[in-house]
Amino acid sequence: MPPERRRAVAARERARAPEAEDAALSLAARQRVGPPTIDDVAQRAGVSVATVSRIINKKAFNKASADTIDRVERAVAELNYRPMRAGRALRTLESHLVAFLIPDITNAFYSAIAHSVEIAIRDLGYAMILCNTEESPELQDAYLDEMQSHLVRAVLLLGAVDSPGLRRAAATGVPIVYLNRKAPPGLSGPFIGIDNAAAGRAVAEHFIRQGYRRCSAIHGPLGSSASRERFEGYRSRLEAAGLALEADDVQAGTLTIESGYGAAVALLSGRTRPRAIFCGNDLMAYGAFRRCRELGLKVPGDIALFGFDDNPLNEWLATWLSTIHVPHDRFGPAASRVLRALGGADSADAASAHILLPFRPVFRESA
Amino acid sequence: MPPERRRAVAARERARAPEAEDAALSLAARQRVGPPTIDDVAQRAGVSVATVSRIINKKAFNKASADTIDRVERAVAELNYRPMRAGRALRTLESHLVAFLIPDITNAFYSAIAHSVEIAIRDLGYAMILCNTEESPELQDAYLDEMQSHLVRAVLLLGAVDSPGLRRAAATGVPIVYLNRKAPPGLSGPFIGIDNAAAGRAVAEHFIRQGYRRCSAIHGPLGSSASRERFEGYRSRLEAAGLALEADDVQAGTLTIESGYGAAVALLSGRTRPRAIFCGNDLMAYGAFRRCRELGLKVPGDIALFGFDDNPLNEWLATWLSTIHVPHDRFGPAASRVLRALGGADSADAASAHILLPFRPVFRESA
DNA sequence: GTCGTCCGGGTAAACGATTACCCTCGTAAT
DNA sequence: ATTACGAGGGTAATCGTTTACCCGGACGAC
């Protein structure tokens, strides 16, 4: 029997044997283990549980004298009491948990965002429960359901994919904040991320400025607003400059290194090859890079690679990769603002707020 | 008022106004929102809550006829009912949460472990609550306390640091599993990781085999058993070969890229320089790599770098880095075994089990 | 016919925390 | 002297689930 159970069981046995004499009762009371409860604090401070609760929650302070507050706080410290979340959650029907759904925890860019968000969430007094969705609608749904039953305050959805469960969750009222990727069509909700279309255009402009005539692209899943918009911005800007992408020069990928490698194999298999490749994220650029090296192509001398996200490792390991820097460390503070607003009076505004973070092209030219 | 609250409030108001006529009652009953409860399921299936509970928990099936089971399961499906965790947790005094404390979520090696562990935890039917401790004892303690109040099943502690809260938590009975880094002195608990001393020796042997006469090291915090043991294994093996490390050739770091860079600056500032550097982890090797390039040194031609962990990105971006491959994808399954054992009859054995994972030196020689 | 003894359930008491009311003073205004 | 009121704090219901008991009937053994 896990030790946490012993206390409950003891209490139940006590209840079942009301004829037990006082000695046994107090024995049972003394023998119980597990964390102290609010009852213990109340007894030790010589007050009722109501008073203790009011004091630890800093509510209705007019209902407690300074002396009482002091006694209670001492009792809390002496017993090392911490309110059990389950009891509180059950009564208030809200927890101190915030769910964070992440498509790929091993992607350093995503985990940098997770890091930033975790700090913000902790500062708000919540704890973060992290779920890896692997871009799978089924997994996302399973977690969405699970998180609801945990009474999470909010769901932060990094890289949302469309799914029945998402639509269900959106309808039930738990706040969903979309990070990096907007809500799927028909759904709305606060969004935190960059202007992907503008960023895509910026890449195109750089290529144009450099005088690259033949440009190409490896884009991510077009079902993702982020991937779609950045690709569309890039494509349309090139087209406006008379450099329209040809079908052969566009490959679709899945935002993984392996997929970037595979796309580069296809892209660079013709007799002639593009001068520059815009990749949907840095990982795909890493994959493309390997293929370039296998073919003996110098980057960026023979072929320029442009990534997206600016993986924190880039400046150390991928000094050849130009990319769009997405300010991962600003997701947390932004999420914090949204979360606070959702709890406030202007929650209607917050529910549809779009926070656009500034992006910044980073040009890396070294070999 | 958050929608989840409305139901509770409605119920309370109902209780406060017992003279309300039936119409108002049923209105209130119909108007309530929020997720369905076990009562709703029971009513819809025409049974008592006890029966519903027994069926959804697959307990005491002899107490339900096939017909009843069917009715209940249909009701659950139709209402999309999911038991609220808080109620369950409060009653059973145990949750479906497993805490995972990670020193640095942006370190891809750690997050690869997190990924593996998350899958294993999900397979066990639990959810993972992830906390970033940043190697800080204070943060670790705060999270340890918080997790206890969440009634977590277990705490998986990746990269434990010694702290009062850890000793307190260890005493209270919540199972703590130490990953990668052993329990601090005086504490015991199941451990999952590699034989760091042997791995350190393997690095030394490689250097000896290669004929490197002057070897050096950038090690991590010696308070960490992992860092200490791998450095000690390396140092002692070199010494046994007559290649004892000199004081100038050893630098301490903090397992970050920046720290590796700084250590390399110091290490490579003398008139002569070591032929090889063993770094406490891959990140520090990345930092050292930059310094080497700044000095115009070829890696591994002029100077060999040896890392530790085998960051998943290495084979794509750091093809010059030899390292000790730690099987990050085996932490999850191992943790799963430990967790299952802790719940089983042999929990005493499990509480002190050491699972040694196989490591594998990876030699990368390309420029 | 009487006694176990299963089957198939229902009843109600917990789990720990919160909070709407209720109660009792002391004091001040009338 | 009476009323009003605020300060200080206690009582008990309640959140959703689980589960130890209780209960009525069917059925077989004696």
Quick: pLDDT tens for B273-290. Answer: 999 999 999 999 999 999
Give exposure, A265-280, as e/b (b: 16+ Cβ within 10 Å): bebbeeeebbbbbbbb
Q: Are B63 and B49 in contact (CB under 8 A)?
A: no
Cβ <8 Å between B108 and A108? yes
Mean pLDDT of B213-225: 96
The minimum CA-CA distance between B312 and chain A, rounded to whole Å, is 9
> What gap in Å lies between CA B121 and CA A53, rounded to an integer?
34
| Residue-level pLDDT at B34 | 77
H or E segment and range at residue B4 = helix B3-16
- pLDDT above 60 (res B367): no
So what's the pLDDT on residue A300? 86
Question: So what's the pLDDT on residue B235?
Answer: 97
Query: Under 8 Å CB-to-CB from B158, ≥6 apart: which residues?
Result: B100, B101, B102, B103, B110, B113, B114, B179, B180, B181
Q: Pick from B194, B115, B127, B138: which is nearest to B361 by CA?
A: B194
pLDDT at position B270, please? Answer: 85
List, by residue range, all CATH 1.10.260.40 domains of chain B.
Answer: 3-90
User: DSSP for B228-253?
Assistant: HHHHHHHHHHHHHTT-PPPGGGEEE-
Tens digits of per-residue pLDDT, B237-265?
A: 999 999 999 999 999 999 999 999 999 99
Quickly count: other Cβ atoms within 10 Å of residue A134's Cβ. 16
User: Residues of chain B with pLDDT > 70: what percent?
Assistant: 89
- Mean pLDDT for B302-309 is 96
CATH 3.40.50.2300 domain span(s) along chain A: 94-194+330-357, 196-327
Determine the distance between B28 (CA) and C19 (C1') in angstroms: 21
Residues of chain A found within 8 Å of residue B316, distances taken between Cβ atoms: 257, 286-287, 289-290
Q: Tell me which fold the domain A196-327 belongs to.
A: Rossmann fold (3.40.50)
Q: Which parts of chain A have pLDDT scores under 70?
A: 1-33, 61, 345-348, 366-367
Burial class (CB in 10 A: 0-12, 13-18, 19+), A192: buried
Instruction: Name the class of domain A94-194+330-357.
Output: alpha beta
Cβ contact B84–A313 (<8 Å): no
Instruction: Say if residues A222 and A231 touch (Cβ distance below 8 Å).
Output: yes
Token look-up 């999420």 returns A335
Structurally, what CATH architecture does the domain formed by B94-194+329-357 represent?
3-Layer(aba) Sandwich (3.40)
Residue B121 has which token pair? 């935890």
Provide CATH 3.40.50.2300 ranges for chain B: 94-194+329-357, 196-327
User: CB–CB of A105/B114 below 8 Å?
Assistant: yes
In chain B, the residue whose alpha carbon lies closest to the alpha carbon of A153 is: B2
CB A72 within 8 A of CB A45: yes
Closest CA to A166 of A181, A155, A152: A155
In angstroms, what separates the C-alpha of B150 from chain A's closest C-alpha?
A: 5
User: How far is residue A259's CA from residue A173's CA, in Å, rounded to a whole number?
Assistant: 37
pLDDT, position B321: 96
Shortest alpha-carbon distance between residue B16 and chain A (Å): 17
CATH superfamily, with its number, for domain B3-90? lambda repressor-like DNA-binding domains (1.10.260.40)
- For residue B33, the model assigns a pLDDT of 65
B33 touches strand D (CB under 7 A): no
Q: Which residues in A lie closer than 8 A to residue B102 (C-beta atoms)?
A: none
pLDDT at B346: 67
- Of B118, B146, B318, which is closest to A132 when you measure between CB atoms? B118
Q: Residue B29: its pLDDT value, please?
A: 42
Residue B216 bridge partners (DSSP): B277
Q: Which bases in strand C are touched by protein, i.e. have an atom under 7 Å from a CB? A: 6-21
A4 to B90: CB separation less than 8 angstroms, yes or no = no
Q: What is the enclosing helix (H) or strand (E) of A36? A: none
B59 is near strand D: CB distance < 7 Å? yes
Determine the pLDDT at residue A345. 64
Inter-chain CB proximity B129 and A82 less than 8 Å: no
Report how far residue B304's alpha carbon sits from residue B364's, in angstroms, rounded to the nearest whole number. 10
Distance CA B297, CA B257 (A): 18
pLDDT of amino acid B12: 42
**Distance in angstroms: CA A279, C1' D18:** 54
Give the distance between the most distant pair of CA atoms in chain A: 95
pLDDT in tens, B156-186: 999 999 999 999 999 887 899 999 999 999 9
The answer to whether residue B24 scores a pLDDT higher than 60 is no
pLDDT digits (tens, 9 = 90+) for B34-63: 789 999 999 999 999 999 999 999 887 677
Look at residue B35 in the predicted model and tell me its pLDDT. 87
Report pLDDT for B23.
Answer: 38
| Contact assessment for residue A305 and residue A365, using Cβ atoms and an 8 Å cutoff | no
Distant-in-sequence, close-in-space partners of A308: CB < 8 Å, separation ≥ 6: A199, A230, A279, A280, A281, A282, A285, A323, A324, A326
